[in-house]
Amino acid sequence: SSSCTVTIFGYPLSIFFIVVNEFCERFSYYGMRAVLVLYFKYFLRWDEDFATTIYHTFVALCYLTPILGAIVADSWLGKFKTIVYLSIVYAVGQVVMAVSAIQDITDANKDGTPDNMTLHVALSMLGLFLIALGTGGIKPCVAAFGGDQFEDHQEKQRSTFFSIFYLSINAGSLISTLITPILRAQTCGIHIQQECYPLAFGVPAALMVVALIVFIVGSPMYNRNPPQGNIIVKVCKCIGFAVKNRFRHRSSQYPKREHWMDWAEEKYNKLLIAQVKMALKVLFLYIPLPMFWALFDQQGSRWTFQATTMNGNFGAITIQPDQMQTVNPILILILVPVMDTLIYPLISKCFNFTPLRRITVGMFLAALAFVAAALLQIQIDETLPDFPSSTESQVKFINMVNRDLQIEADNETISLKDENDTVNFDDITSKPEKGENAIRVLNGFGSVLNVTVRDKVFNFTSNMSEYLSVSHGKAEFMIKDNRESCVYTQELGFGSSYTLIIPSTFTFGERCSENIKAVMDMKPNSVHMAWQIIQYFLMTTGEVVFSVTGLEFSYSQAPSNMKSVLQAGWLLTVAVGNIIVLIVAEAATLEDQWAEYILFASLLVLVCITFAIMAYFYTYTDPTKIEAQFDKMEPEEKEKRKNFDMPRKGSAESHKEDRGSSDSSSDDECTKQTKI
């Protein structure tokens, strides 16, 4: 079913379209995901726990739908049509997501806040559902479809293609997690300028449309293999029959069989049963693995929220909280070759660093990353202000007279010196985030003043203004009355709060700013975002050792026709990991974030020990040898299954199916993958 095959340097031209499509699709997915939790918190106004819950529900869904996509492609539509149809669904989802972030569509009173938040929530949930369906559905098809473009004699080129393919995944991830936070930090809006989430979601949406167009343009050049039945469905049917048959023959008069899968022998050939046994042996080892992903995927939720309470000033550059996620793909590109060429060979000289030992080490490193995150959180918590509990109130006195005062309240004496030495209680209910500063002005001048900063105007209620949110850096405050003006300059850090006092003694003139006093209500963030690099380094090292090794181990231990079964199982561990986050975060209800980090780290260490014990009892197999042995037994089995009293089985066609003749060509290429 190949049309015209055009080659360049021995490579089919069609793979160019597939690689560009994958780059754009991964850019679209990771770009949107990078800003997602901040969109939930600052646009939809959800609290951090609920935002985390929805984020991980979305990620779980993205890793459940690949199984659906694989079944649809292999059993019904074929890979090409599946990719096209689901890419359309995907692109629509991204566009809906971008539209959901436009506050002006429901902002009738033009105050910058959407009037109908329900509509925005409904649109964003619809968008996320369509994206999860699209990205998950095409995930198992694109790499395999790329593999289909090569002829049997192009094995070397096929191998190179997969290296380029996975490089495009990481490049798309890296560039998008760098760019979309910058787009989000821009301001846009018809009535009131705000953070530009429509742009942050709109650019990934545009890239997804480009991905779809590029893929369709290459259509005349593709090799398209017809659907040949899905091996996942076949394996499930074989397992189901074995369980049913075992249950039917549970009486003691029937002799026991060596393995419970042997009860499928009446209907399925021994080769398929042996292949299923090998696959189940590996899938059993997958059971503890979701706990790793439970920690890993919190980089996009909890760790991003952690970064919002930190100082992101890197000299002349300001790093956005969501941009810290770029540390992961950057480190991956560095660590994968370093591990392969340097670390593994060095370790192997000391002792046998088997794949299962590597996976155990990867899990342990992820637990260490969360210990590092907890230690960092403790440091951050020390810099955060103590807000009053529900049974307490807060009071603030500002002394604006030029002599010392004393105030007595409930037998406690508060000494007020002059305005340079005031007793401060925090008046705002939360710490300013994302590098913003809460500033207000107290006008003690005795007449009306107009105060502005960076085109923002302070609104006064009697003498005290409302808080204005001002970004970090040098801020110039313009103070005017009907005739004169004065400029006061204040250097603002990250997350501080100030009350600017214009005293009764204030006079306009050259030295007017010297009369203005800035009282710090809340200290700026003193813990630098760079400290997060430690936990990102530990987590990414864990990912490289765990994820790459896990996939290599799976494919080395899997029968030739069951690569896709193990790929589905691997993706399922990611989905289950994200579901674990929901369960633990909801059930634990720990007040301190650092305690939650320690809880996750402890759970992973327990799982790590369990996995190490399971790995100790695992024996490595060579699937090709086992398959070769069973191939010799083939003729006897046909006769045996014919005699089994079952409706219409044993025909040449169904026998071919039982052998697992699915698109194994599409499955054997996925050997090394760092982003999935």
Q: How many structural domains is the chain composed of?
A: 3
| 511 and 534 part of one domain | no
- Backbone angles phi and psi of 624, in degrees to 5: -65, -40
**If we measure between CA atoms, which residue out of 231, 267, 232 comes closest to residue 248?**
267
Task: Give percent helix, percent strand, percent coil of the chain, each to the nearest 5.
Answer: 60, 10, 30
Q: What size, in residues, is the chain?
A: 676
pLDDT band at 415 (very low <50, low <70, confident <90, very high): low
The proportion of the chain whose per-residue pLDDT surpasses 70, expressed as a percent, equals 86
Band the pLDDT of 532: cuts 50, 70, 90: very high
Question: Is residue 179's pLDDT more than 90?
Answer: yes
Of the pLDDT bands very low, low, confident and very high (cuts 50, 70, 90), residue 130 is: very high
What's the average model confidence in pLDDT over 71-99? 93
- Residues 128, 75: one domain? yes
Indicate whether 462 and 514 sit together in one domain: yes
Quick check: 274 and 626 in contact, CB under 8 A? yes
Q: Identify the domain boundary among 584, 606, 628.
A: 606
With a cut of 70, say whether residue 295 has pLDDT above it: yes
* 576 occurs within a structural domain: yes
Residue 654 lies in a domain: no
CA 81 to chain CA centroid, nearest Å: 28
The parent domain of residue 7 ranges over 1-227
Instruction: Give pLDDT tens digits for 183-238.
Output: 998 888 887 788 899 999 999 999 999 999 999 999 988 988 888 777 888 888 98
471 & 335 share domain: no
Report which of 28, 298, 8 is spatially closest to residue 169, judged by C-alpha positions. 28
pLDDT of residue 393 exceeding 90 = no
Its pTM stands at 0.82
Give 114's pLDDT tier (boundaries 50, 70, 90). confident
Question: Can you tell me which residue has the tokens 């500033």?
Answer: 439
Rounded-to-integer distance, Cα 536 and Cα 177, Å: 14
675 pLDDT higher than 80: no
Q: At what angle do helices 231-248 and 48-72 cross, to 10 degrees?
A: 90
Identify whether the C-beta of residue 181 lies closer than 8 Å to the C-beta of residue 320: yes
Is 496 inside any structural domain?
A: yes
Pick the last residue of a domain from 493, 522, 551: 522
CATH number at 492 reads 2.60.40
Same domain? 78 vs 153 = yes
Place of tokens 């990205």: 135
Least confident piece of the model among 99-103, 176-180, 398-402: 398-402
CA distances from 212 to 5, 43, 517 (A): 21, 29, 59
Type of residue numbered 116: N
The owner of tokens 């100082």 is: 311
Termini Cα distance of the chain: 29
Does residue 257 form part of some domain?
A: no
Paired with 488 in beta bridges are 477
Please tell me whether residues 238 and 328 are part of one structural domain: yes
Mean pLDDT across 50-63: 95
The DSSP symbol for 423 reads B
Q: Is residue 220 a part of any domain in this protein?
A: yes
**149 confidence band (pLDDT: 50, 70, 90):** confident
Residues 214 and 348 in one domain: no
47 and 10, same domain (yes or no):
yes
Report whether pLDDT(449) > 70: yes
Q: Average pLDDT for residues 39-49, to the nearest whole number?
A: 92
Domain assignment present for 110 = yes
pLDDT at 637 over 80: no
Q: Domain holding 378: CATH number? A: 1.20.1250.20
Higher pLDDT, 457 or 658: 457
Beta strands, E only, 63-218: 187-188, 194-195
Give residue 96's identity as a one-letter amino acid code.
V
Instruction: Please check whether residues 77 and 123 belong to one and the same domain.
Output: yes
How far apart CA 128 and CA 308 sit, in angstroms, is: 24
Confidence category of residue 461, pLDDT binned at 50, 70, 90 = confident
Task: Tell me what pLDDT residue 390 has.
Answer: 62
Closest CA to 500 of 532, 477, 523, 522: 477
Q: How confident is the model at residue 652 (pLDDT cuts 50, 70, 90)?
A: very low
- 192 and 73 inside one domain: yes
The DSSP bridge pattern shows strands 187-188 and 11-12 to be unpaired
- Residue 412 has a pLDDT of 55
Task: Give the mean model confidence (pLDDT) for residues 583-607.
Answer: 90
From 522, 553, 570, give the residue that closes a domain.
522
Q: Do 73 and 56 share a structural domain?
A: yes
Residue 32 lies in a domain: yes
Confidence of residue 609 (pLDDT cuts 50, 70, 90): very high
Nearest to 567 by CA among 231, 198, 247, 140: 140
Residues 127 and 195 in one domain: yes
CA dist., res. 565 & res. 70, Å (int): 10
Give the whole-angstrom CA distance, residue 665 versus residue 243: 30
Q: Cα(208)–Cα(31) distance, rounded to whole angstroms?
A: 11
Measured CA angle at 302 (ends 299, 303), to 5 deg: 50
Taking the C-alpha atoms of residue 629 and residue 632, their distance in angstroms, rounded to an integer, is 6
Does residue 674 belong to any structural domain of this protein? Answer: no
